[in-house]
């Protein structure tokens, strides 16, 4: 249960003065629904209102806070004309200008003959000095309150800085003084303030330099967030391993049959990864291992060897994929690989309903099904296993830690292997997979030449279409990828449909289409037609990013390639180059490329090493965007910038390990304070993994 000291921060923001439902909905879009979310919404700029000139000395274009005597109100004859309020001081005159003004409000705020303080941008029209819609109007007694540096925050349409600023000021008034959870030696060495002072300092910048991530206040808050992340991962790792594992060692006979049937020999990296996994399976602690490897490096075969270890001892294994299209791709791959051993894998996704689903559930429950493939449907409440021993989770960054725990809870001490083709920089590895051991596949199967990558301007699209015509005539198959536009599924779909219509006008029925809004059966049919050669050109959105395997596809066109992140471009390019022939990836880009986009595309042309690409992507785009906003498994950091604060992460990891080695259940004084930290960052699940939590 959340500690009482946090209750005020986890109230809805509607408790704050001036925040009604409409304002709360707008703030919810950019920050969140609770008071604490406003604390995490740090300023990204400042307005300096300390410049306080006399009227005659006021500089055009500057933000100024001025003390004036209010003169006549000049009301417009019609609503389209501005409402003017004439003002003066002992050096000259100026006008305050308002459009669509409310006369009653202005009469109260600016009473004729009285002295008022106004703050806003100075404009000059000829000899006349004006201020249009002052940001602040106050009495002479309020000048010191208005003459200050004002933080600027990210906004959304309909939400003003004034309204958001007032809400954040009200939230800061609720900030409690927490008992200190950081190590005193670290605090002293870094010169960090207490938590409540750090929050106030981060929201009260006096200079532009105070917005930098390197300030003591911002580094302190970033460290708190990173420490909570590392502590939560360590607790989850411990809870998954607290149940003793059951040593699992088969006789190898089924594995030998499968390996003998492979059309290739295993690479050295695959053999090393299998040895590491076998060592985990044979120990009396549960396996929790990440298998990381580029597209085409052979993760599926390595994962299958782990699954067959379960089968050889009479147990069951499952492989869970993030999408139905990928689950069915895995089913086809495993069916072929398992044919020499006479094993038929089953599939369970959201599409299986009624009697077919009941039949699958029956075979899982009585043990007749030894290997199952599917989506998250594999761990729904009504799915029971006779003896689940190994769970493989593919493309882990699409699943959260909770799903990892739910699947592992379906059996007795289930060994978990997680795989990803998304290259993840070492910095992010700690934040997302700090609870796992890691194996890396760094080799590609022999005989696969690197993909040739060409950058081409969108002005030359006709040449691209002509080149595709030549490739198709030469029996190639072609992916044509359309970008995500403004994070909208509908515009994403429209772009793909428009390109499909255009290519159909050139190539007829040889061009097919697949996008995320299509029904599962229609998607599968389009993919099957492309795989079987029924269509030669597949226009697609990024639904093909992971897992679809068509060795005959040797050409990929990525339209508006500058809109994709490096990791995503690398994933897409990995869909081709899966056979022995030469493959080509055409990155079609817009005319006016920014420096960042140009650097990304140049990186794609220069290297096909996923790990090099991942590090470069982190440098160019920062961690927030790295794997795209749609991925759910990577933690979303709100205070820590993994590029700027990467030096704090190893410290946080070591600190978390030391804390739990000394106080495993967080019951000592610092441990109890750290429980508050975990709840503060909403890592309640981690606290529940404590014995006495």
List, for residues 34-72, the tens digit of each pLDDT value: 999 999 999 999 999 999 999 999 999 999 999 999 999
Assigned token pair, 351: 């599409």
Distance between CA atoms of residues 486 and 511, nearest Å:
26
Total length of the chain: 693
Residue range 541-555, pLDDT digits in tens = 876 654 467 888 999
Best CA proximity match to 165, nearest among 27, 6, 7 = 27
Specify the pLDDT at position 662.
Answer: 96
Assigned token pair, 150: 């004002």
CB-based contacts of 489, cutoff 8 Å, min separation 6: 516, 517
Residue range 583-604, pLDDT digits in tens = 999 999 988 888 888 998 999 9
Residue 289 CB neighbour total at 10 angstroms: 22
Specify the pLDDT at position 325.
Answer: 80
Phi, psi for residue 4 in degrees, rounded to 5: -60, -30
pTM for the full predicted model: 0.71
Q: Is the model's pLDDT at 304 over the cut of 70?
A: yes
* Residue 171 or residue 445, greater confidence: 171
Q: Is the model's pLDDT at 399 over the cut of 70?
A: no
Cβ atoms of 620 and 640 within 8 Å: the answer is no
Please give the average per-residue pLDDT across 323-351, as a whole number: 92
Distance between CA atoms of residues 63 and 536, nearest Å:
61
Which range scores top for mean pLDDT: 74-83, 187-196, 536-545? 187-196
Lowest model confidence (mean pLDDT) among 158-162, 319-323, 611-615:
611-615
pLDDT-based confidence at residue 485 (cuts at 50, 70, 90): very low
Phi, psi for residue 72 in degrees, rounded to 5: -75, 150
**Residue 532: C-alpha distances to residues 48, 337, 469, 507, 660 (Å):** 65, 19, 19, 18, 55
Specify the pLDDT at position 422.
Answer: 72
- Domains of the chain and CATH, by start: 4-46+168-211 (no CATH), 50-147 (2.40.50.140), 253-441 (3.40.50.300), 452-607 (3.40.50.300)
Secondary structure tally for the chain: helices H, strands E: 24, 21
Specify the pLDDT at position 408.
Answer: 59
**Residue 503: C-alpha distances to residues 308, 403, 500 (Å):** 45, 41, 5
């Amino acid at each position: 249960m959340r500690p009482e000291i946090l209750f005020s921060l986890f109230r809805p923001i509607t408790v704050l003065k001036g925040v009604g439902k409409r304002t709360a909905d707008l703030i919810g879009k950019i920050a969140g629904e609770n008071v604490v979310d406003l604390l995490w919404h740090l300023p990204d700029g400042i307005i300096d209102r300390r410049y306080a000139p006399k009227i005659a000395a006021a500089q055009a274009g500057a933000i100024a806070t001025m003390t004036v005597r209010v003169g006549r109100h000049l009301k417009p004859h019609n609503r389209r004309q501005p409402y003017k309020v004439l003002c003066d001081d002992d050096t000259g005159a100026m006008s305050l200008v308002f459009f669509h003004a409310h006369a009653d409000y202005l009469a109260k705020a600016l009473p004729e003959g009285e002295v008022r303080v106004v703050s806003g941008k100075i404009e000059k029209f000829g000899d006349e000095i004006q201020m249009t819609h002052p940001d602040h109007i106050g009495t002479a007694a309020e000048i010191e309150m208005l003459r200050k540096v004002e933080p600027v925050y990210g906004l959304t349409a309909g939400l003003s800085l004034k309204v958001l600023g007032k809400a954040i000021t009200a939230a800061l008034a609720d900030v409690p003084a927490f008992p200190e959870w950081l190590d005193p030696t670290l605090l002293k060495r870094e010169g960090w303030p207490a938590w409540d002072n750090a929050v106030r300092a981060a929201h009260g910048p006096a200079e532009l330099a105070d917005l930098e991530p390197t300030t003591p206040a911002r580094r302190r808050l970033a460290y708190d967030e990173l420490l909570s992340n590392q502590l939560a991962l360590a607790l989850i790792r411990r809870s998954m391993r607290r149940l003793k594992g059951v040593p699992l060692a088969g006789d190898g006979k089924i594995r030998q049959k499968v390996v003998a049937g492979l059309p290739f020999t295993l690479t050295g990296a695959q053999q090393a990864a299998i040895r590491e996994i076998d060592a985990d399976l044979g120990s009396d602690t549960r396996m929790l291992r990440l298998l990381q490897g580029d597209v085409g490096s052979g993760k599926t075969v390595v994962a299958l060897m782990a699954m067959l270890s379960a089968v050889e001892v009479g147990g069951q294994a499952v492989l869970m994929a993030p999408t139905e299209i990928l689950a069915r791709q895995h089913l086809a791959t495993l069916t072929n690989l398992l044919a020499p051993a006479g094993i038929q894998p089953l599939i369970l996704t959201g599409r299986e309903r009624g009697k077919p689903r009941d039949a699958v559930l029956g075979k899982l429950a009585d043990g007749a099904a030894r290997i199952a493939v599917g989506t998250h449907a594999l761990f729904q409440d009504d799915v029971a296993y006779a003896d689940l021993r190994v769970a493989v989770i593919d493309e882990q960054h699409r699943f959260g830690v909770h799903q990892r725990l739910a699947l592992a809870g379906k059996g007795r001490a289930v060994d978990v292997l997680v795989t990803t083709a998304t290259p993840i920089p070492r910095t992010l590895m700690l934040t997302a997979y700090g609870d796992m051991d890691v194996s890396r596949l760094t080799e590609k199967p022999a005989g696969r030449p690197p993909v040739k990558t060409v950058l081409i301007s969108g002005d030359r699209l006709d040449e691209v279409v002509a080149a595709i015509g030549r490739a198709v005539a030469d029996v190639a198959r072609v992916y044509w990828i359309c970008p995500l536009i403004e994070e909208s599924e509908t515009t994403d779909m429209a772009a793909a449909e428009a390109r499909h219509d255009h290519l159909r006008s050139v190539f007829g029925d040889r061009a097919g289409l697949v996008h995320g809004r299509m029904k599962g059966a229609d998607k599968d049919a389009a993919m099957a037609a492309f795989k079987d050669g029924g269509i030669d050109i597949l226009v697609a959105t990024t639904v093909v990013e992971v897992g679809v395997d068509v060795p005959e596809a040797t050409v990929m066109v990525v339209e508006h390639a500058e809109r994709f992140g490096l990791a995503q471009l690398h994933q897409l390019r990995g869909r081709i180059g899966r056979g022995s022939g030469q493959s080509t990836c055409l990155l079609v880009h817009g005319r006016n490329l920014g420096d960042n986009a140009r650097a990304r595309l140049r990186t794609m042309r220069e290297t096909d090493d996923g790990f090099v690409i991942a590090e470069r992507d982190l440098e160019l785009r920062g961690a927030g965007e790295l794997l795209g906003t749609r991925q759910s498994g990577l933690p979303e950091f709100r205070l820590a910038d993994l590029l700027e604060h990467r030096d704090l992460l190893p410290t946080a990891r070591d600190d978390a390990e030391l804390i739990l080695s000394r106080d495993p259940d967080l019951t000592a004084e610092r441990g109890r304070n750290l429980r508050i930290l975990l709840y503060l960052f909403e890592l309640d699940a981690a606290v529940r993994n404590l014995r006495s939590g």
